[in-house]
């Protein structure tokens, strides 16, 4: 079953088309990896799924994006509600100027949850899911900026998980991290896919191969092909895909 | 680039990021290191100059005020008789007046300044925010005497005929402190005028801090399903707390020492205000009014210089405490904060 | 014409300019330019802000007729004028007050010269009262008002002095000067001489410890505050009364007459004072309340120049010439009245002025010009 589906999607920055006629489905309880050279529109695509591009001036779209069958760009879906259901983790760790606890609790607080015990339970659960609990449980009131880069990124994941989204978007979440942190996050993604539909952008072919179930290859704003990860990496149907994954360009 | 790549092993406590993780770059280029050293020296020179200037000012104040310090000791601080004719001097009245004016000014200006900073950084359309920002910077440059004149011609009548009677008839019914005799001139007028003067200062610094909040942090909030108001109030404002506290300290310094505008509207009367409608006296307005006369009598002059010294020390203490507070707010580190200092 | 007065007095409504000037002068003092630096024909006058406008018009006129002399005038406050004339930083210190006994002891080398005549007048703003209604006050009642003991306009003491005036039950708002001021000195001198209570509690000073009321920097601010505050009472000098056409109270004088301050009534007071043999030659004493006569305004006093007896001979001769000019030609109404002072006929006082001049420059007298 597909959680989200995209049909004949075009995205423009002013006059420039960043995405051209993209059609794909985001499967539930699986990891979808988006690969492709820099500037091919992966981030643009990801941010179109939770309408983060609304904040970009001159940005416009054509086509259809649905979440459980509802057009997310229609008045039937308020962006605020959409973003609670479609969470996002960014390339660079971006914690708030708050304590570790409050960073995770933020999404709940703005939903009006005040009860201390509820907040505490949710924060603990989210931090455990993000495999950060043991490292921070004794210093929940410290500033989030006292954490290392890898810990900060896992905190951002915990923060996104706390609001219990249905889809989780990850934009090169490990690109700025060391190998140990990276592997932790990869494990994490494996654990999480049992509950969420996950879309991850990555530049790392091995990573894509390791963690994803489906892979979509983007090139110059177009989606060249999408399929089972094992097939894409062993037997791509488009020569451009093969060139890319074998490192002949990009 | 991320600075830190260290993830501790399970169960071990991570040490705070420390500088020694990154060894200092040793330059083989002697010219570079020499110019580095020269730069270091000139910075040190600047520091020493500031320190020296401060010590000299402090020393001169101490010497000049010594007759008064020796004669009255600490009782200078908590006695309120100020009678040059009898050679009796006590600072309490002026300390209390300074306290009220500064307090009222901050009470009024801080919320106004924060709201105008938010408006300028997040709500106003660009063209409007440009105009308002320019106006605000101009406002910050207006001589204080102009604010004083504004106080006399506009605030005083407004307070006397409308606001002070209103306070007396509302809050005054419950608390005697608001049930004074409407006069227009007084600590309220002085506090409001000084408050207006420091709004541009606090607002400009806060706005600049807000504009420097990383876009990523803002996006993180939206991505969690926050509205604009939630993002602005709970994320952006929180991120600029150090900048704001810094601007409050600047505002405090300006308010506590403000002379001309206060002098014109406070009603320069050496008595401790019993109500918010009362007249009062601040240290700086007393000095401006009488210092040229006080030089006629060494003890009188010494007492006035001692008042100036106290003003200096108050500013020093508030600055230090403010810095401490900043450190506490940031959990001992200023990393990643915006506009700190 | 008051244009000049407006420019000068209003242009410096508060202490900042004065403070700046003081700093500049102090800097000169520190640099050791005090004595050696001045050429003999350079006269610096600094001090009283009240005398400042008069000194300015004098300086312009005097330099026109005496091109060899340069006079610079600064308004720095009486205290500064006295202190710096005494230590030689300036040539002439201008003061609103004479040297009281304590200051004569501290500044033994100063000679005070009466140079102009001014007064303090009581102004008020009583709702419901016609603008032209002249209230009557005696010293003790006025003192009680300024001590805060009389709090309403229809107090029985005020009513007793003004039986024909309908006074409202309105709170009295006392308004006084905040900066050190000659007008304050003259005003408190009157209270001091007429009220034992005032004498005991407050005394007379350029900047006394006011028990009640609110203070304003400069006479213009006092006028503004009185005019804008219902129930206010305050005091200003003759010049301000004339400029703003203010109605002022009639004050009770020594012989029991109620007299309103005017050029005429304070001129009479000055004349009486100058002729009274009881006064010391240097006028280092209050004349307030000491004067008899039907038309004599009781609350008036001299303004002074303080001259250091240690000035070098050349400078002293120039000072003497300037002084004599100021006391004769300089008393013309075009200088004095236009800047808020009463012109005084100093010539009849020749013997006394002779003595002063002699103290400053032995052998010289009031109208004899020394050669060179
Ligand atoms: N905010 C923006 N304004 C204008 N053009 C943009 C913006 N963001 C991205 N683009 C352009 O859109 C194209 C796709 O960018 P992006 O989605 O960031 O690619 P990727 O994430 O695959 O590297 C690029 O050509 C880029 O220059
Ligand atoms: Mg990208």
Tokens of B125: 């359309």
Best B4, B7, B239 residue to mutate vs chain A (most A CBs within 10 Å): B7
C70 CB-contact burial (10 Å; exposed 0-12 / middle 13-18 / buried 19+): middle
pLDDT at A249: 59
State the pLDDT confidence band at C372, using cuts at 50, 70 and 90. Answer: very low
Least confident interval from A148-152, C216-220, C365-369: C365-369
Q: How far apart, in Å, do the first and last CA atoms of chain A sit?
A: 32
Which parts of chain A fold into alpha helices (H)?
Answer: 42-49, 79-85, 100-109, 116-129, 133-136, 149-162, 179-192, 205-211, 229-234, 239-245
Measured CA to CA, the distance from residue A231 to residue A237 in angstroms comes to 9
Measured CA to CA, the distance from residue C320 to residue C312 in angstroms comes to 12
A212 CB-contact burial (10 Å; exposed 0-12 / middle 13-18 / buried 19+): buried
Question: Phi-psi region for residue C216, left (φ > 0), alpha (ψ -120 to 50) or beta?
Answer: beta
Residue nearest to atom 24 of ligand 1 (CA): A39
Contact in structure between A160 and A192 (CB atoms under 8 Å)? no
- Chain B positions touching A145 (Cβ under 8 A) are 333, 335-337
B144 to chain C: closest CA residue: C16
CA A153, distance to chain mean position in Å, is: 12
DSSP output for C70-101? EEEEEE--HHHHHHHHHTTSSSEEEESS---H
Going from the Cα of A171 to the center of ligand 1, the distance in angstroms, rounded, reads 13
Tell whether the model's pLDDT for residue C247 goes beyond 70. yes
> CA nearest A152: which of B236, B231, B9, B4?
B4
pLDDT at C60: 93
User: Per-residue pLDDT tens for C132-152?
Assistant: 899 999 999 999 999 999 999
Per CATH, the number for B73-336 is 1.10.3720.10
- Chain A positions touching B225 (Cβ under 8 A) are 80-84, 107, 110-111, 163
Q: Given the structure tokens 């399903």, which residue do they identify? A: B225
3-class DSSP state of B150? helix
State the pLDDT confidence band at C56, using cuts at 50, 70 and 90. Answer: very high
Going from the Cα of B227 to the center of ligand 1, the distance in angstroms, rounded, reads 25
Contact in structure between C282 and C273 (CB atoms under 8 Å)? no
Contact in structure between C286 and C97 (CB atoms under 8 Å)? no
Backbone angles phi and psi of A180, in degrees to 5? -65, -45
Nearest to C80 among B83, B84, B292 (CB): B292
pLDDT at C177: 93
Domain ranges of chain A: 2-245
Tokens of C356: 């002063």
> CA nearest C113: which of C99, C129, C102?
C99
Tell whether the model's pLDDT for residue C121 goes beyond 90. yes
Mean pLDDT score of chain A:
89
C334 contacts: CB under 8 Å, gap ≥ 6? none
Contact in structure between B185 and B265 (CB atoms under 8 Å)? yes
User: Per-residue pLDDT tens for C272-292?
Assistant: 887 777 777 667 777 776 788
The CB of A40 under 6 Å from ligand 1? The reply is yes
State the pLDDT confidence band at B15, using cuts at 50, 70 and 90. Answer: very low
**Cβ within 8 Å, pair A96-B235:** yes
**Cβ within 8 Å, pair C179-B152:** no
pLDDT at C21: 54
The CB of A41 under 6 Å from ligand 1? The reply is yes
Burial B298-334, CB ≥16 within 10 A → b, else e: ebbbbbbbbbbbbbeebeeebeeebeeebeebbbeeb
Count, residues in chain B: 341
**Cβ within 8 Å, pair A52-B7:** no
Going from the Cα of B108 to the center of ligand 1, the distance in angstroms, rounded, reads 45
Nearest to A163 among B225, B239, B331 (CB): B225
DSSP type of residue C349: G
Residue nearest to atom 20 of ligand 1 (CA): A39
State the pLDDT confidence band at C42, using cuts at 50, 70 and 90. Answer: confident
Which parts of B183-265 fold into alpha helices (H)?
Answer: 187-211, 215-223, 228-230, 237-239, 241-257, 260-265
Backbone angles phi and psi of C124, in degrees to 5? -155, 165
**Cβ within 8 Å, pair A94-B216:** yes
Residue nearest to atom 2 of ligand 1 (CA): A13
Count, residues in chain A: 250
Per CATH, the number for A2-245 is 3.40.50.300
Tell whether the model's pLDDT for residue C234 goes beyond 90. yes
Question: Phi-psi region for residue C245, left (φ > 0), alpha (ψ -120 to 50) or beta?
Answer: left
Percent of chain A with pLDDT over 90: 42
| Residue range C326-337: mean pLDDT, rounded | 90
**Quick check: C206 contacting B, CB < 8 Å?**
yes
The CB of A18 under 6 Å from ligand 1? The reply is yes
Least confident interval from A5-19, C85-99, C199-213, C342-356: C342-356
B186 CB-contact burial (10 Å; exposed 0-12 / middle 13-18 / buried 19+): buried
Going from the Cα of A15 to the center of ligand 1, the distance in angstroms, rounded, reads 13
Percent of chain C with pLDDT over 70: 85
Domain ranges of chain B: 2-69, 73-336
User: Per-residue pLDDT tens for B90-102?
Assistant: 999 999 999 999 9
C258 CB-contact burial (10 Å; exposed 0-12 / middle 13-18 / buried 19+): middle
| Residue range C11-32: mean pLDDT, rounded | 48
Backbone angles phi and psi of A235, in degrees to 5? -145, 65
pLDDT at C170: 94
Measured CA to CA, the distance from residue C8 to residue B334 in angstroms comes to 53
Tell whether the model's pLDDT for residue C52 goes beyond 80. yes
State the pLDDT confidence band at C12, using cuts at 50, 70 and 90. Answer: very low
Contact in structure between C325 and C57 (CB atoms under 8 Å)? no
């Amino acid at each position: 079953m597909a959680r989200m589906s995209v049909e004949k999607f075009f995205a423009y920055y002013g006059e420039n088309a960043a995405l051209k006629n993209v059609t794909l489905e985001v499967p539930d309880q699986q990891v979808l990896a988006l690969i492709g050279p820099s500037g091919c529109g992966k981030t643009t695509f990801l941010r179109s799924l939770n309408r983060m591009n609304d904040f970009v001036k001159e940005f416009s779209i054509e086509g259809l994006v649905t979440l459980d069958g509802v057009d997310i760009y229609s008045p039937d879906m308020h962006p605020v509600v959409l973003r609670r259901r479609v969470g996002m983790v960014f390339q660079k760790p971006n914690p708030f100027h708050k304590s570790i606890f409050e960073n995770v609790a933020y999404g709940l607080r703005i939903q009006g949850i005040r009860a201390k015990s509820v907040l505490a339970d949710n924060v603990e659960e989210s931090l455990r899911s993000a495999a950060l609990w043991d490292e921070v449980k004794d210093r929940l009131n410290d500033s989030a900026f006292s954490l290392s880069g890898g810990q900060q990124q896992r905190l951002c994941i915990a923060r996104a998980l706390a609001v219990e989204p249905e889809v989780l978007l990850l934009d090169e979440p490990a690109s700025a991290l060391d190998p140990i942190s990276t592997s932790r996050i990869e494990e994490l993604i494996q654990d999480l896919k049992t509950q969420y539909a996950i879309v991850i952008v990555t530049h790392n072919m091995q990573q894509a191969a390791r963690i994803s179930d489906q892979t979509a290859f983007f090139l110059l704003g177009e989606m060249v092909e999408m399929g089972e990860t094992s097939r894409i990496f062993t037997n791509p149907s488009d020569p451009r895909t093969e060139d890319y994954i074998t490192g002949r360009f990009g | 680039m991320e600075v830190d790549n260290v993830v501790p092993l399970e169960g071990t406590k991570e040490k705070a990021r420390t500088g020694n993780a990154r060894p200092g770059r040793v330059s083989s280029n002697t010219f570079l290191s020499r110019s580095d050293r020269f730069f270091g020296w000139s910075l040190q020179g600047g520091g020493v100059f500031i320190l020296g200037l401060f010590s000299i000012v402090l020393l001169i104040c101490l010497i000049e005020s010594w007759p008064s310090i020796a004669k009255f000791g600490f009782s200078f601080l908590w006695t309120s008789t100020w009678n040059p004719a009898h050679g009796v001097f006590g600072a309490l009245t002026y300390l209390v007046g300074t306290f009220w004016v500064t307090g009222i000014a901050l009470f009024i200006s801080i919320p106004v300044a924060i709201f105008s900073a938010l408006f300028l950084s997040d709500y106003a359309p660009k063209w409007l925010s440009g105009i308002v920002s320019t106006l605000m910077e101009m406002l910050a440059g207006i001589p204080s005497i102009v604010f004083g004149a504004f106080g006399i011609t506009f605030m005083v009548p407004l307070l006397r005929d409308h606001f002070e009677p209103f306070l007396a008839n509302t809050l005054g019914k419950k608390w005697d402190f608001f049930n004074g005799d409407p006069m227009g001139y007084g600590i309220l007028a002085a506090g409001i005028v000084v408050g207006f003067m420091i709004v541009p200062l606090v607002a400009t610094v806060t706005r600049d801090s807000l504009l420097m909040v990383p876009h990523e942090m803002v996006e993180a909030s939206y991505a969690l399903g926050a509205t604009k108001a939630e993002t602005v109030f709970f994320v952006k404002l929180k991120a600029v707390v150090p900048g704001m506290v810094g601007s409050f300290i600047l505002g405090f310094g300006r308010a506590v020492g403000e002379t001309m505008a206060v002098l014109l509207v406070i009603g320069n009367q050496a008595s401790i205000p019993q109500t918010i409608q009362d007249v009062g006296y601040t240290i700086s307005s007393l000095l401006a009014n009488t210092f040229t006369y006080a030089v006629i009598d060494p003890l009188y002059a010494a007492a006035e210089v001692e008042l100036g010294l106290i003003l200096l020390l108050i500013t020093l203490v508030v600055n230090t405490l403010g810095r401490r507070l900043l450190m506490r707010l940031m959990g001992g580190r200023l990393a990643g904060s915006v506009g700190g200092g | 014409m008051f244009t000049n007065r407006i420019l000068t007095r209003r242009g410096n409504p508060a202490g900042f300019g004065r403070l700046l000037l003081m700093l500049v002068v102090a800097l000169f003092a520190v640099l050791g330019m005090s004595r050696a630096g001045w050429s003999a024909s350079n006269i610096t006058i600094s001090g009283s802000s009240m005398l400042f406008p008069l000194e300015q018009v004098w300086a312009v006129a005097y330099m026109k007729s005496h091109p060899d002399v340069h006079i610079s005038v600064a308004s720095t406050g009486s205290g500064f004028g006295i202190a710096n004339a005494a230590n030689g930083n300036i040539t002439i210190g201008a003061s609103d007050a004479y040297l009281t006994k304590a200051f004569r002891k501290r500044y033994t080398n100063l000679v005070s010269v009466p140079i102009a005549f001014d007064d303090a007048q009581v102004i008020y703003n009583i709702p419901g009262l016609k603008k032209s209604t002249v209230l009557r006050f005696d010293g003790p009642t006025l003192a009680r008002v300024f001590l805060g003991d009389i709090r309403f306009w229809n107090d029985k003491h005020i009513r007793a002095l003004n039986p024909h005036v309908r006074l409202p039950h309105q709170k009295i708002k006392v308004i006084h000067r905040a900066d050190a001021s000659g007008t304050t000195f003259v005003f408190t001198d009157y209270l001091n001489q007429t009220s034992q209570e005032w004498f005991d509690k407050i005394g007379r000073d350029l900047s006394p410890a006011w028990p009640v009321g609110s203070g304003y920097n400069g006479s213009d601010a006092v006028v503004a505050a009185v005019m804008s505050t219902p129930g206010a009472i305050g005091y200003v000098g003759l010049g301000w009364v004339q400029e703003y056409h203010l109605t002022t109270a009639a004050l009770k004088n020594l012989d029991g007459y109620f007299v309103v301050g005017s050029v005429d009534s304070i001129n009479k007071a000055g004349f009486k004072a100058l002729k009274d043999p009881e006064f010391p030659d240097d006028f280092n004493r209050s004349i307030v309340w000491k004067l008899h006569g039907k038309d004599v305004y009781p609350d008036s006093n001299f303004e002074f120049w303080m001259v250091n007896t240690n000035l070098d001979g050349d400078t002293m001769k120039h000072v003497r010439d300037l002084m004599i000019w100021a006391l004769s030609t300089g008393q013309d109404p075009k200088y004095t009245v236009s800047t808020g002072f009463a012109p005084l006929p100093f010539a009849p006082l020749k013997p006394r002025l002779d003595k002063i001049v002699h103290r400053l420059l032995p052998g010289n007298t009031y109208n004899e010009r020394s050669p060179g």
